[in-house]
Amino acid sequence: MRAYAPHRNFIAAAVPTAALWRVLVGFLAASAIYLLLNNMLFTLVFNMVGPQNSAFFDDLLTGKTPAAMFLLLGSFGLMTLGVTIVARVLHRRSFASLIGPLGLAVSQFSAVVRMLVIVGAVVFVLPPWDLGEPYVPNLELGKWLLLLPLSLAAVFLQTSAEEIVFRGYVQQQLAARFNSPLVWMVLPSFLFALGHYLPNDAGENALIVALWAGVFGMLMADLTARSGSLGPAIAVHFCNNVTAILITSMPDDLSGLALYLTPFSMADAEAVRAWLPVDFVLMLISWLAARLAIRR
């Protein structure tokens, strides 16, 4: 496809080591490194805090405090480290090659963020102005603003890690081996969706949430192929998670840095399901806005 011409430059560094076994071994190795280091990190934290502080453990696992959220989001840096090690050792590639041309990625990231801020402002002033009930205040505004720079950095670390793994490493290596988007677009998105299938958290909506994540992954794969860098995909993912983690979060999970909480929790299956189509439309709007922002 002509629209995907920039993708050829994006995947060029992956071509010399495009054997399928390498991406399979590489993905498993990167996952193992991340899980091992993540386990070591949280074991260290638990040992430092002590087993008597069970309330701290509960808050940490659900992200109910700012400190817990910073630790949870910061741990995604270990995911980036894992795939960086694999790229260097198994593919003899640099970390930068997973992102694309840095100058291009930065300029596209900035352009998409600016566009999505405008879109977000328009959506904010349009009805409905709540989710059926008023939002529940969470962090005090002064504290939220004080933490905001570090909060934004933590969300950026988390979202960029996921994009580097799925749209960077996996998509690049598959696209270097297979021409069809049915492989390099769908397979990484399936893995991304699988990681978001959480029946213990999402209950009967778990499959729908995973499907949402899979579609999101394919849209981000499309943006990456059109742009030739991870900049747009990271920007959309970043803005989405800023909204869901820092502005309005659900009360039962990852709420420690949010200014407001939704009037319902993930356990309220009907309420969540009623808003998923709205969320899906907003995802499509963000994708189209990002495409407009990088249009040449």
31-45 residue pLDDT tens:
999 999 999 998 888
Query: Is 213's pLDDT higher than 80?
Result: yes
Q: Are 231 and 106 contacting, i.e. CB atoms less than 8 angstroms apart?
A: yes
Q: What is the pTM of this model?
A: 0.94
Query: Is 193's pLDDT higher than 90?
Result: yes
* Digit-coded pLDDT (tens) for 4-33: 999 999 999 999 999 999 999 999 999 999
Instruction: Give Cβ neighbours of residue 176 (< 8 Å, ≥ 6 apart).
Output: 11, 14, 15, 18
Mean pLDDT value of segment 65-85: 95
Mean pLDDT value of segment 129-149: 87
Mean pLDDT value of segment 264-274: 79
Centre a 10 Å sphere on the Cβ of residue 44 and count the other Cβ atoms it contains.
10
Q: Are 207 and 197 contacting, i.e. CB atoms less than 8 angstroms apart?
A: yes
Residue type, 102: L
The residue assigned the tokens 């299956």 is 269
Helix (H, G, I), strand (E, B) or coil at 266: coil
Q: What is the pLDDT of residue 130?
A: 63
Angle at which helices 269-293 and 102-125 cross, to 10° = 130
Residue 260: pLDDT band (50, 70, 90) is very high
Q: Are 189 and 217 contacting, i.e. CB atoms less than 8 angstroms apart?
A: yes
